[in-house]
A and B are shown apart, each in its own frame.
Chain A
Amino acid sequence: MKALVAVKRVVDYNVKVRVKSDGTGVDIANVKMSMNPFDEIAVEEATRLKEKGVLSEVVAVSCGVTQCQETLRTAMAIGADRGILVETAEELQPLAVAKLLKALVDKEKPELIILGKQAIDDDCNQTGQMLAALLDLPQATFASKVEVADGFALVTREVDGGLETVKLKLPAVVTTDLRLNEPRYVTLPNIMKAKKKPLETVKPADLGVDVAPRIKTLKVSEPPKRGAGVKVPDVATLVNKLKNEAKVI
């Protein structure tokens, strides 16, 4: 059984981004980029399923600029068998990525497709669901546990108020939540081995997908700043201020 895992190259989660002064976007020139943390969890889960003998092959896919190759190499160092880069310099929105992934799923015919629940740059939380819809496949979003057996996936999902378990007929789309697993550290020998794994490059046009953005960003601004707070010396002052100044208790 084959799995396809989608990975995105994003600004590293430790970086505090700055809004450009002209309001056209955030400044990501010369900023450290990494694999989206939720996608690392997705690759890890696919690798674990392969180690358990459930999967026979794991294909990592990334869409975007040439440098996404590095992200794919990281996925291969974790355990993916090969990579596919859909290369384009265009700004890709979730619907376009879902269409590109659909084209690849149609070609590769994986039985399990794993994505992160959201990317930490656009915070959209859409691509997995959109892909499932385009393929007419069932979905399990925000997964914290995945079991695959007998043509079905049993997935525990994190929902408001607790956990929920659903059973999906394969093929299916799963998106990962934080607590699904703890991704392994990639070791140097595995990084070296990953360099030898095959990486194929295609263009959106080869897949027959129009990736033009549907949503126009008019401006990007700084979020409203909070007024400077005060440090209080002791609990009594704090209670007094909350009661008489802020009037919240």
Chain B
Amino acid sequence: MTALVIAEHDNHAIKGATLNTVAAAAKCGGDVHVLVAGSGAAEAAKQAAQIAGVAKVLHADAAHLGEGLAENIAAQVLAMAAEYTHILFPSTASGKNVAPRVAAKLDVAQISDITKVESADTFERPIYAGNAMATVQSADKVKVITVRTTGFDAAAATGGSAGVVSVAAAADAGTSSFVGREVTKSDRPELTAAKIIVSGGRALGSSEKFTELLTPLADKLGAALGASRAAVDAGYAPNDWQVGQTGKIVAPQLYVACGISGAIQHLAGMKDSKVIVAINKDPEAPIFSVADYGLEADIFTAVPELVKSL
């Protein structure tokens, strides 16, 4: 039994989500191999070899693997799939993009967003926006899985000493091409990896207020900024700040929800946080049912006061 983890990286460095996926792979039993498919990604492959618990790193390098196009990455994974019983991807935008493609080609079902490994063929995953947990068993010969990163502790990024093996790159599918990327600039911690998150909702009223009120608090706490879908749809915050079923799933040490009512969709993305603080002037807001500490107050007075007292 050997598991293959598809590393998430930017051709220079391994991304944090890979470490959680390695941890989940280790729980499936057997050796863990990591595939680094990219363009000029030797440095990322070297980093992957340092991850504790990794037995071997496979490094495929070609220009057409550089931008992570699903067609090409899936072909690369399929070229080496025969030797593995488990193929795991982090449940990030790129993992979710590629994994089902691999599964369909292997004619196996894919298991999405697992939060627990019960045994080599049995896994737990949330359904209905996290309102129910399903324990599922796969009878397929290969298990293709995406791993909810907040469900597993990250493997140590150092301490491993795996060998790096170069593998031949699969051919370019040639049906799609990368055009461009628009990255949201931020010098804050990454949302999914942050220890503390300050999140705002519709009650902020405008993009200016959102920044004006929440930035000082996030700065004080060294926190990442998040937002509810209502705030994102209203244009107060960029798309990739959205926390929820259809946005990012987070589980920080501290989640501060400011002016967020707490719709099912939003709770699905943050209810595994260690401590939840809710500041809302509506005493009936559903967010108070999951908050460890609830403060019934106007955010426009409470948040500045909170900043001052920190």
Q: Which residues of A contact B (CB under 8 A)?
A: 11, 13, 16-17, 19, 26, 93-95, 98, 117-118, 120-134, 137-142, 144, 154, 157-169, 172, 177-179, 213-223, 226-227, 229-232, 234-236, 238-239, 241-242, 246, 248-249
Contact = CB atoms under 8 A, between A and B. Distances in A.
B94 interface: yes
B310 interface: yes
Q: Is the interface of A mostly helix, strand, loop or mixed?
A: mixed
B306 A214 contact: no
Interface of B: 69-71, 74, 92-94, 96-105, 107-113, 122, 126-140, 173, 175-184, 192, 196, 221, 229, 233, 238-240, 245-246, 248, 253-254, 264-265, 271, 274-277, 288, 290-297, 302, 305-306, 309-310
A128 B98 CA distance: 11
Given A167-B176, A242-B254, A248 B274 contact: yes
A128 B92 CA distance: 16
| Residue picked from B110, B111, B127, B129, most chain A C-beta under 10 Å | B127
Given A179-B239, A226-B276, A230-B293, 18 more contacts: A95-B109, A123-B113, A129-B101, A130-B100, A130-B101, A131-B104, A159-B240, A166-B179, A179-B233, A213-B109, A220-B127, A223-B271, A229-B290, A231-B295, A242-B277, A246-B254, A246-B292, A249-B221
Contacts, number: 248
B125 to A, nearest CB: 8
State the 9 A-B residue pairs at the shortest beta-carbon distance, nearest first: A129-B100, A130-B104, A214-B109, A126-B100, A138-B176, A133-B104, A138-B175, A165-B179, A133-B101
A44 to B, nearest CB: 15
Given A19-B132, A93-B109, A130-B103, A123 B274 contact: no
A158 B240 CA distance: 8
B71 A215 contact: no
B271 A226 contact: yes
A138 B296 contact: no
Contacts of A246: 254, 274-275, 292-293
B248 to A, nearest CB: 8
Nearest to B90: A160
Contacts of A214: 108-109, 138-140
B246 to A, nearest CB: 6
A164 B180 contact: yes
